[in-house]
Amino acid sequence: MTRTRTPSRAGWLRAMAVGLALVAVACGGGADDATTTTTAAGGAPAQAPEHPEGSTMAQVQAAGTLRVGTKFDQPGFGLKRATTGEVEGFDVEIARLIAEAIGPEVEVEFTESPSAVREQLLENGEVDMVVATYTINDARKERVGFAGPYYVAGQDIMVPAGNPLGIEGVDDLNGKRVCSVGGSTSVENVRTMAPEAQVTEFDVYSKCADAMGDGRIDAVTTDNTILLGLIEKSGGKYELVGNPFTTEPYGIGVPKDDVEFRNFINDTLEDLYASGEWADAYERTLGQFVDEIPEPPEVDRY
């Protein structure tokens, strides 16, 4: 069994719509072709919004491209398909919806952003924003700004199916071979909360999943929804312990002092919550692994 849940009829219809949109992209257009198609089908053509002169939104609109850092190996959030080169997932959808709010013609260019390089990519101006299962916290706010949160996860543990070592929570990781990713809150948390764990750090979570498949480690720890995507991909080889021990509010990283862009993204998120587009994006991505669509979290305009 590869799916824990059969998509609803509406889910299938949406999946088909996404498939059609991908065909449009594959036929030479950009992500916004899908947007334009949707808008045209819905009636009036989309108007190009007006942005304050000199703002990031105005610059992105003029460039026609929003440069976004995301994950490429996290099913459900950000996954790049080896066969088609397409990226998909909730983070990808959120990024596309923000691009659409900047301007109907704006395309999204995705750059892989492993956990340890997210701040650096923003500081170097290599991307305009990062949407990459990126927990908002004070240490990171020293270097980047955060819009959102747009989702709240919790750190959990993934073990081989059947849980052979009987790992029930973070305390049980002491003395075990545990894998996580450098530069993540997950690895910091496990080092603090299970100081006797033998921690292996990789740059991306899929390498942890592979290492567990080879028996090189006993458990993988990071956010529950990331783990659920990896479990889905494992086809039943792995399972979730299901005992989250942290709160991980996901934000959209922007350059630290770009408050105008941060506010614009916050306004956009609130619009997406109100219009139901956030819930639709959730249903066609993470909704494939998780039964309930949660309420979107309240935006924090710090």
Q: Which of 102/132 has CB closer to ligand GLU?
A: 132
CA nearest neighbour of 250 among 284, 225, 285? 225
Q: Which residue is nearest to ligand GLU (CB)?
A: 184
Q: What are phi and psi of 94, to 5 degrees?
A: -60, -45
How many Å from the N-terminal Cα to the C-terminal Cα in the chain? 44
Residues 2 to 31 in contact with ligand GLU, rule: CB under 6 A? none
Report the nearest approach of ligand GLU to the CB of residue 204 (Å): 9
Q: With CB under 6 A, what is the number of residues at the site for ligand GLU?
A: 13
Residue 73 contacts ligand GLU per CB under 6 A = no
CB of 159 to ligand GLU, least distance (A): 18
Q: Which two tokens stand for residue 103?
A: 């301007």
| d(C-alpha 292, C-alpha 177), whole Å | 32
Residue 135 interacts with ligand GLU (CB under 6 A): yes or no: yes
User: How far is it, in rounded angstroms, from Cα 79 to Cα 173?
Assistant: 28
Stretch that binds ligand GLU, among 12-20, 96-104, 133-141, 229-237 (CB under 6 A): 133-141
Is 103 or 229 the residue whose CB approaches ligand GLU more closely? 229
Using the minimum distance from each CB to ligand GLU, give the nearer residue, 24 or 204.
Answer: 204
**Burial of residue 165 (number of CB atoms within 10 Å: 0-12, 13-18, 19+):** middle
Q: In what order do the strands lie in the sheet with 78-80?
A: 73-74, 78-80, 87-88
Strand 73-74 and strand 177-181: the pairing is unpaired
Q: Is 61 or 185 the residue whose CB approaches ligand GLU more closely? A: 185
Whether 202 and 267 have beta carbons less than 8 Å apart is answered as no
Q: Which is nearer to ligand GLU, 209 or 226 (CB)?
A: 226
Q: Which is nearer to ligand GLU, 24 or 220 (CB)?
A: 220
- Shortest distance in whole angstroms from residue 33 CB to ligand GLU: 29
> Of 119, 248, 258, 283, which one interacts with ligand GLU (CB under 6 A)?
248
Q: Which is nearer to ligand GLU, 181 or 281 (CB)?
A: 181
Window of 41-49, 97-105, 129-137, 164-172 that interacts with ligand GLU by CB under 6 A: 129-137
In the bound complex, what is the minimum distance in angstroms from residue 202's beta carbon to ligand GLU? Answer: 11
Whole-number minimum distance, CB 184 to ligand GLU, in Å? 3
Q: With respect to ligand GLU, which residue has the nearer C-beta, 36 or 184?
A: 184
Q: Are 192 and 172 in contact (CB under 8 A)?
A: no
Footprint on residues 176-235 left by ligand GLU (CB under 6 A): 181, 184-186, 222-223, 226
We find the least distance from the C-beta atom of residue 223 to ligand GLU, in angstroms, to be 5
Interatomic CA distance for residues 164 and 145, integer angstroms:
42
Site string for ligand GLU, 78-107 (x = CB under 6 A): ------------------------------
The contact set with ligand GLU (CB under 6 A) reads: 115, 132-135, 181, 184-186, 222-223, 226, 248
